[in-house]
Structure 1
Amino acid sequence: MEQERQHKITNLLETYFSDASLLWDKVMLSKILADPKGMVPIEALCKLPRLKAIQATPEEIKYCAEQHSQSKLQIDQEKIGRIKPYVVNKTEELDDWSIYVEGLEKPYNNEQAITQLFSSLVGHVSFFRIPPNQQGQANFLSYCFIEFDLQQNVEKAVQLFKQTVTPDHPPAKELKLRVMSKLEWNRYKDEYLHVLEERKAALKKLWEDYHQQYPEGQGDEAYHQEAQEEKGYEEGLVVFVDGLHPQCARTTATALLQTSGVEIAFMNTKKKGLQTVHVRLKNREDAQKLCAYFDQHPIMQETGQDTVGKEQASKTRDCLRLRILEGKKENDGLF
């Protein structure tokens, strides 16, 4: 079989099985979905219009898939299918074929520019996703997930940004990106969640031990009085605030918190991109009143400029969460 004909048959096969083609080719898609493994009989492939037009034989199709498309197609007896699974109405990237990228800046701050960058440096990008924030909005904040057509391009991308690329492209190191496989990102995420669970369990035990020692709050007053004498300042004035919009500035955060009717005496520097902040109140009563207000009024800050917030029907993780700091956290402090 001549080389030009082999190339043509291989190209047609890969096109029929490609993501782009399956978006509109309902006939081919139905053949893939009809098989649990997504395999299509070679005899059925011969009858597809473009392969039928050049009279491609089963032997030719099988040979081209085996010899020229080993990275994209696989053969199971007399059937051919994709190596990469096809997901209908995909909403998330496939882990084994994807990378996590952070540190992206202008001009690489939109899907088209980022996709073109990685397609030119690594290989064809088949899927792009910006993870949603707490409000479920996909606002670009310098990081994203990228899925490739070929699985080997994941390692290629990771290695590429550890060294200088060829002179045909600007050095990858100049982009100052952090790139890792989605599988590695998943490991980091699992480790982080594990640490959080451990801390929650430790805090719960401390709380239980305290209540066993001082039933119904006995000893609280003596403890606070003794602690204040040792530290030289009044306790219970520092409040930790979580759940602010990532783009919220210090003045906006102050205005939003003061909707409670409590005046904020001091706030540590609030840089954009942080969702937490510490504030100091004039007295313990104000600190308790501030926390109580936002506990009774579940408020979600919708934008970085929102100074009022939107009250929710019930308290969720998207709402402002406040707590008064105690002990070492207050003493280590931030002021």
Structure 2
Amino acid sequence: MAAPNKPYTFGLPKACSEEQLVRETAFLYSSCTLQEMGSFYFAHALKADGNASRAVYLKFYDNKLGLLHTSLDKCFHAEPPISASSPPKVLSMAVNPHVFFLRSRLWQGVCLLDNSWTVVVFQTLENEDIPKLASFINDNNPDEIHLTSVHKTGLAKIRDGTPGDFHLTSEDGQKIEVHKTVLQPLWPFFSATIDSNMMEATENSLDLPFPASTIEVAVRYLYGQPLEFGFGDAANLLVMAQMYDLPELLSLAVAKIKAEALDVQQAIMLWKKSFEACNDDLRSYSAARIKQMMPDISHSKLLDDLDRDEMVALFMDVSGVESRS
């Protein structure tokens, strides 16, 4: 990227006022922003009669210098909108000034441009192609150690570089910004929610009954960002990952839990979450740990949080451990 107050070197630049920009992007196909740069526009070229053609070009407006940069070749062809006032129906997201994801309800694709915006390649994608493409974007770090299947995608660059278009809201009202284009191919529950046309899809917000720290771990997993989380979030993920169909994240949570030397508080919390998630393996595991610490269990305040059915089930589990030992 160019230094501040120096022209960017991509595309064909021309002087452009903000009023002219409105005309240049009158028939807008899609638009997106890149932090610390500005807005990019996929806009239909104008014919001599002022109507839109099918050719869509990429444009970037440098408002500091009053320059409009346009790709030298069209990005793709698309049916133009009925009028200039028609809202765009395609979402786009910039990874950098040369890589853009686009998505509609019917298809998804990627637009790749060379450094000068002279050569443009557009390719439609199936869901399984997204990780392959993102891995290609991440090839400048070939020696990076990837901990999960999603870490291999390099999607962390998207979260760091572009504003999101959807919010996951925690139980205490905190909002975590995400990108629909990223989460839909990787998270079946999220994809079904978006495709449902329910209130969450139209309002671009989904309430999740978990703490913000636990949701943040799940989001970092989906973007392939480094994962560091404590026992409390791992226990919550037993429920969240199973409820929302994230099996690899569930495995990571289980591995984290089994690496811990549990105290009585953690053992009871783990049993409660395992009971809620119907995870029989961890129920037995936590019950065995509780049995080892029976002299201390009466001092745990977490027992007060168990309802009658949970209390009965807990002591049946502990008794079962005793009968097998």
Normalised-by-shorter TM-score class: under 0.3
Query: Relative CO higher for 1 or 2, CA cutoff 8 Å, sep ≥ 6?
Result: 1
Instruction: Return the TM-score normalized by structure 1.
Output: 0.27
Instruction: Return the TM-score normalized by structure 2.
Output: 0.28
Q: Counting strand residues as a fraction of each chain, which structure ranks higher?
A: 2
